[in-house]
A and B are shown apart, each in its own frame.
Chain A
Amino acid sequence: MKFRAKMIDVGCLNHFSRVVNTISKLTKICILRLTPNNLYFVLSGKVASGGVGMWCELSQANFFDEYQLEGVAPDANEICLEVTPENLSRALRTSQNAKCVKIKLTKKHCPCLTFVAELPTLSSVSRVVTHDIPVDVIPRRLWHDFKEPRMPDFDVSIYLPPLKTMKNVVDRMKNLSNFLVMEANLNGEMNLKIETDLVSVTTHFKDLGNPPWGDDGSQGRSQSRDPEVMAHTRVDIRKLQQFLMGQQVNPSKAMCNIVHKRIIHLILLHEDVSLQYFIPAVA
């Protein structure tokens, strides 16, 4: 198993750092899957993580100048590691203006991801910062847990309102209730509702637009759907808030698929990064 990669461009470095920062705000521990073409940060929707699932896909060519990977076996050319994104974030934070950053899979006292950054200095010799981040290698037999999640058969798919606005609304709602109902219809309308014994608050968003999904199994279902009818799901508000809090960059596309009473599937697309987040419904 071998992995070496190098980043030279400051812009790429910053972008990568932002992605890692976002991930670190969403979860404490996650899986990093390395394949010849992509990197994936995965959180499988198990009970341990509260049912929340995350899938973040980056195309390595957009970030790294050099990328060499030798997977576990010739027919399974990938590496699966359990990492703490916070550590990655910290390592990258201090290398913001580095001349170059190299990432290597090493074995020190335990398997580590080693980040080596060369920082520019006034003198001829540059400063070298080395971070060794301990990781756990995930054995092949557990890989099936971390496959790309299937697109759920959603009832409604809608573009999200500006994330910042959503975040403000959700922040305020969090003070009142632990659960939030998100509903949307095919007319581009979305409501965020909370209800307590004393008060109920609804925030309405209009004219959001609905993404046109292509030839999809679910398309059939939603096509025949009355555009006025709302599909709704009740979720734990903290999970939604956590998702919104972590976002640092405005995505080029942000949409949400709702499976009536089952799950909320949030999709954010940046140019070279895609992030999917699943929040299951609560009773």
Chain B
Amino acid sequence: MLAKAIHSLSRIGDELYLEPQEDGLALRSVNSSRSAYACFLFSPLFFSRYTIPLGHAFRCKMAIKCVQAVFRSLSSLEKTVEKCHIELDGETSRLTFTLHCKHGLLKTHNLSFQDSESLQAVFDKESCANMLRAQPRLLVDTVLHFPPSLEEVSVSVSGERVWFRNHVDDEAEQSKAMLTELCLSSDEFDHFAVGAQTSITFCLKELRGLLVFAESTGLPVSMYFDEPGSPVVLSVTDSVLEVNFVLATLSDDSNLCNHNNNTKRARSPPPPDDFMTDDIDSYLIAMETSELAGPSDALAPRSPSSNHTLTTQPSAAMRSLERGEEEEEDTEDTERPPNKKFRSLFFGSVCPSDSQLTNQTIKSQEVLASDSEDDTQASLP
């Protein structure tokens, strides 16, 4: 299940944020434009043994591809792995995954990580006006009707029914695109509570990650949403696990905004689709990326990458500030993981932990123009 969670998260963003908490191990990821966030919270009961470092809280992040490599093949995992041991080595900044397999085979993966700020989306499921719960099969079947390339889906609800429609964003495409609409009645849902007739639009891609996970576990999926603009929360819960996917939704006035954000995006890896970069303001979900107070300061002189809070409808003044910060964040994120990983593994040296580097240092590093450059750098023999 852990492996499935990781594969699921990999469809959201490039990095995995790991945070052992008292209430469990939280694995989180967010996409580059901050419009989709996912969190898998495994309660201590899920593990046969769960010990967290006492004292300061610990958070780290690592390139998700590395972790995926550990859990690469789901079917072989199921057959051969008896035990999985995850251990943190603070000294060398390594997270060790040890897979105890059949026949006494032991696979050890040492992954380096970076300390990171806490990643937590602010959302409140309970206060949402509308809630639907269904068996994953229903949603998977629904999604099947739409082409795999579909970016955005619109969900409309009324008292008795739900409509899923493909959303066509571009004016130019409107006359050419095929429109598909699926209407489900409330009977098909385990739970159907609709406050008022609403319609929201969000990105389907990220949702597929959750659906794959839910279908393999057979747990029902709950969908909480409000009016357009406020995020939709999809969650899967059982006794040992709580999964939340928070996706930004298109707000009503987004149609008026222009596409001037695209140029700024050139430096980060291309986001999955224009939709995401299009109108950041309406798509941003409320995020709180603040450092935990107190002992965390001792951990890493990683300067508080600011307590910036990005809200769904920020004021104009905030926007430019956030964009600036967004940009930094993203360039950091995109450059560091691959470099660091290769250095650690191939050169055997311990990076004087990028975790010690401050934001300033990061900025003074060569800002690479594009991903491809990143790769060539990293692939040095």
Which residues of chain A are near B177, meaning CB under 8 Å?
A: 134
User: What's the Cα separation between A95 and B156 when bound, in Å?
Assistant: 22
Do A130 and B178 have beta carbons less than 8 Å apart?
A: no
B381: Cβ under 8 A from any A Cβ: no
Contact indicator per residue, chain A 97-138, by CB within 8 Å of chain B (1) or not (0): 000000000001110000000000111110111111110000
User: What's the Cα separation between A125 and B185 when bound, in Å?
Assistant: 6
Which residues of chain A are near B291, meaning CB under 8 Å?
A: none
> Restricting to B173-197, which residues have a CB under 8 Å from any CB of A?
174-185, 187-188
Partner of A128 from the list B144, B147, B182 (CB cut-off 8 Å) is: B182
A37: Cβ under 8 A from any B Cβ: no
Do B182 and A127 have beta carbons less than 8 Å apart?
A: yes
Which residues of chain B are near A121, meaning CB under 8 Å?
A: 187-188
- A94-B145, A123-B187, A123-B188 are contacts. A129–B181 as well, Cβ < 8 Å? yes
Contact indicator per residue, chain B 179-221, by CB within 8 Å of chain A (1) or not (0): 1111111011000000000000000000000000000000000
Partner of B182 from the list A108, A109, A129 (CB cut-off 8 Å) is: A129
User: What's the Cα separation between A121 and B183 when bound, in Å?
Assistant: 12
Do B180 and A129 have beta carbons less than 8 Å apart?
A: yes
Do B180 and A122 have beta carbons less than 8 Å apart?
A: no
Partner of B175 from the list A90, A128, A134 (CB cut-off 8 Å) is: A134
- A123-B185, A123-B187 are contacts. A109–B180 as well, Cβ < 8 Å? no
Do B178 and A122 have beta carbons less than 8 Å apart?
A: no
User: What's the Cα separation between A125 and B186 when bound, in Å?
Assistant: 9
Do B178 and A90 have beta carbons less than 8 Å apart?
A: yes
Which residues of chain B are near A131, meaning CB under 8 Å?
A: 178-181
- Nearest Cβ on chain B to A106's Cβ, whole angstroms: 11
- Nearest Cβ on chain B to A28's Cβ, whole angstroms: 13
Which residues of chain A are near B147, meaning CB under 8 Å?
A: 90
- Nearest Cβ on chain B to A35's Cβ, whole angstroms: 25
Which residues of chain B are near A123, meaning CB under 8 Å?
A: 185, 187-188
- A122-B188, A129-B145 are contacts. A109–B178 as well, Cβ < 8 Å? no
Which residues of chain A are near B175, meaning CB under 8 Å?
A: 109-110, 134
Which residues of chain B are near A158, meaning CB under 8 Å?
A: none
A87: Cβ under 8 A from any B Cβ: yes
User: What's the Cα separation between A128 and B182 when bound, in Å?
Assistant: 6
- Nearest Cβ on chain B to A20's Cβ, whole angstroms: 14
Do B185 and A130 have beta carbons less than 8 Å apart?
A: no
Which residues of chain A are near B183, meaning CB under 8 Å?
A: 127-130
- Nearest Cβ on chain B to A114's Cβ, whole angstroms: 9
Which residues of chain A are near B179, meaning CB under 8 Å?
A: 108, 130-132
Which residues of chain B are near A94, meaning CB under 8 Å?
A: 144-145
Which residues of chain B are near A124, meaning CB under 8 Å?
A: 187
A256: Cβ under 8 A from any B Cβ: no
Which residues of chain A are near B185, meaning CB under 8 Å?
A: 123, 125, 127
- Nearest Cβ on chain A to B265's Cβ, whole angstroms: 30
A91: Cβ under 8 A from any B Cβ: yes
Residues of chain A at the chain B interface (Cβ within 8 Å) = 87, 90-91, 94, 108-110, 121-125, 127-134
In order of increasing CB-CB distance, the 5 nearest A-B pairs are A123-B187, A125-B185, A132-B179, A94-B145, A130-B181
10 contacts between A and B (CB under 8 A): A90-B147, A91-B178, A110-B175, A128-B182, A129-B183, A130-B179, A130-B182, A131-B178, A131-B180, A134-B177
Inter-chain pairs besides A110-B175, A132-B178, 12 sampled, C-beta below 8 Å: A109-B174, A121-B188, A125-B187, A125-B188, A127-B184, A128-B182, A129-B183, A130-B182, A131-B179, A132-B181, A133-B178, A134-B176
